[in-house]
């Protein structure tokens, strides 16, 4: 079970400084209490009152300015929960301040931002981690093990769907979802692409078709109800992926569709020579995995391969532990850059009308050990 660590004083804990106290921060701050390897030492936000409120809500010792986070010598890792356009600037400041950094997805708004971060992190010999960490949950870990164990035979194809109408009817400030670094591919694609990379391995080539289906949108949520937005990044993307293992299939991401009839509980399907794997929503951690073998009339539920109960912060905790153990962390910079490269590759392919070949060298990160107890990440 999860272990509260608010009063941890031993030396093998990493002090975390959070930048950005928006919608996603509560999930990180709540789950971080489950891991003895990390301690949320301070939170910050452009609006200090928002930071103070979040600190009080989650029992964080200090709410400080963004500038103070960078100069605080007690902070080991910066947790960057800002909007996509701020991911690179914040990461650069953190690394230049001598701190490791872990960010919400995506790694940056384009491939060039990712390359800058790779070069700087290497020069400073500091770690960079990046969400999503949902693949560390029992859902994707179970699916990965099933494919690795040959349960569906040779993987031949796949489909992956993430379709919806957008965020302007619920998010208080949805503009960034429709600017570069946003859109359905950069917002939700990281979950799906990371899951596919974990299950099927390196990508050989991709092709994409991207469009702005709804050029102008009206915010209907508060406090900006009635505000018009101009969409400046594709809100509907269809992609074709061929993996190095020979499997090929399609991914669809959209903020422009009305009611879409697809299996939302298992929106990824992996087709093999012996059967089909039904993979849960990669935006969650513990969804069910089903298998249907050739000749069988019904799907069968697979037992969970790893512990359940993880949430956002498990990737951060794994990185903190990996630093001390001198091993690779799972939410790696290399994986996040591969995802970024592929996402931009879909847009490039759509513009150029050609296949795009991602950079080489991606290696799947280590799986969670089958049967490992909650919190055992080594």
Q: What is the pLDDT of residues 257-270, one digit of tens each?
A: 987 678 889 999 99
Of the candidates 365, 366, 362, the one whose C-alpha atom is nearest the C-alpha of residue 345 is 362
CB 160 within 8 A of CB 309: no
Give the CA distances from residue 71 to residues 82, 97, 152, 185, 358, in Å, rounded to whole numbers and listed in that order.
18, 7, 52, 35, 37
**pLDDT grade for 11, boundaries at 50, 70 and 90:** low
Residues of each domain in the chain carrying CATH 3.40.50.720: 14-133+311-332
- What class does CATH assign to 134-307+340-352? alpha beta
Exposed, middle or buried: residue 227 (CB in 10 Å: 0-12, 13-18, 19+)? middle
Residues of each domain in the chain carrying CATH 3.30.360.10: 134-307+340-352
Locus of tokens 């301070």: 42
What is residue 177's DSSP assignment?
A: G
Is the pLDDT score of 12 beyond 90?
no
Any residues with CB less than 8 A from the CB of 309 and at least 6 apart, and which? 1, 2, 34, 285, 286, 374
Over residues 227-234, the mean pLDDT reads: 97
pLDDT, one tens digit per residue, over 125-167 is 999 999 999 999 999 999 999 999 999 999 999 999 999 999 9
Q: Which residue has the higher pLDDT, 345 or 360?
A: 345
Please give the mean pLDDT across all residues of the chain. Answer: 94
Any residues with CB less than 8 A from the CB of 264 and at least 6 apart, and which? 281
pLDDT, one tens digit per residue, over 254-306 is 999 987 678 889 999 999 999 999 999 999 999 999 999 999 999 999 999 99
Is the pLDDT score of 5 beyond 80?
no
* DSSP-assigned letters across all residues of 96-162: HTT-EEEEPSPS-SSHHHHHHHHHHHHHHT--EEES--GGGSHHHHHHHHHHHTTTT-SEEEEEEEE
Of the candidates 246, 250, 294, 287, the one whose C-alpha atom is nearest the C-alpha of residue 158 is 250
**pLDDT grade for 8, boundaries at 50, 70 and 90:** very low
CB 32 within 8 A of CB 7: no
User: Which one of 3.20.10.10, 3.30.565.10, 3.40.50.720, 3.30.1490.20 gives the CATH number of domain 14-133+311-332?
Assistant: 3.40.50.720
Share of the chain above pLDDT 70, in %: 97
CB 280 within 8 A of CB 305: no
Of the candidates 58, 50, 52, 55, the one whose C-alpha atom is nearest the C-alpha of residue 22 is 50
Any residues with CB less than 8 A from the CB of 311 and at least 6 apart, and which? 27, 30, 31, 34, 285
**pLDDT grade for 7, boundaries at 50, 70 and 90:** very low
Locus of tokens 């089958």: 370
Over residues 11-31, the mean pLDDT reads: 93
Over residues 166-180, the mean pLDDT reads: 93
């Amino acid at each position: 079970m999860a272990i509260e660590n608010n009063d941890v004083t031993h030396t093998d804990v990493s002090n975390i400084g959070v930048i950005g106290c928006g919608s996603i921060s509560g999930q990180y701050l709540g789950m971080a209490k489950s891991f003895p390897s990390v301690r949320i030492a301070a939170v910050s936000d452009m609006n200090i009152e928002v930071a103070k409120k979040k600190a009080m809500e989650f029992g964080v010792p200090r709410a400080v300015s963004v500038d103070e986070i960078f100069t605080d010598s007690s902070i080991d890792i910066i947790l960057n929960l800002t909007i996509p356009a701020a991911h690179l600037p914040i990461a650069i400041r953190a690394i230049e301040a001598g701190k490791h950094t872990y960010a919400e997805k995506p790694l940056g708004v384009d491939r060039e931002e990712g390359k800058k971060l790779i070069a700087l992190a290497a020069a400073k010999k500091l770690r960079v981690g990046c969400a999503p960490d949902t693949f560390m949950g029992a859902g994707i870990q179970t699916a990965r093990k099933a494919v690795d164990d040959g349960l569906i035979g040779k993987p031949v194809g796949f489909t992956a769907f993430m379709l919806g109408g957008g965020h302007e009817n619920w998010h208080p400030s949805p503009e960034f979802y429709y600017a570069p670094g946003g859109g359905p591919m950069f917002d939700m694609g990281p979950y799906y692409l990371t899951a596919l990379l974990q299950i099927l391995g390196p990508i050989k080539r991709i092709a994409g078709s991207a469009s702005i289906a709804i050029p102008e949108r009206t915010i209907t949520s508060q406090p900006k109800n009635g505000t018009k937005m101009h969409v400046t990044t594709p809100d509907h993307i269809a992609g074709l992926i061929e993996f190095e293992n020979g499997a090929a299939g399609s991914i669809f991401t959209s903020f422009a569709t009305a009611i879409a009839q697809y299996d939302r509980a298992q929106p990824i399907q992996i087709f093999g020579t012996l059967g089909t794997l039904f993979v849960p929503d990669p935006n969650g951690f513990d969804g069910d995995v089903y298998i249907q073998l050739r000749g069988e009339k019904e799907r069968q539920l697979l037992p969970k391969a790893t512990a359940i109960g993880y949430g956002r912060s498990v990737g951060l905790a794994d990185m903190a532990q990996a630093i001390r153990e001198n091993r690779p962390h799972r939410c790696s910079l290399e994986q996040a850059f591969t995802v970024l490269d592929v996402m931009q590759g879909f847009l490039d392919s759509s513009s150029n009308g050609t296949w795009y070949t991602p950079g080489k060298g991606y290696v799947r990160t280590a799986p969670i050990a089958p049967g490992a107890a909650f919190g055992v990440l080594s």
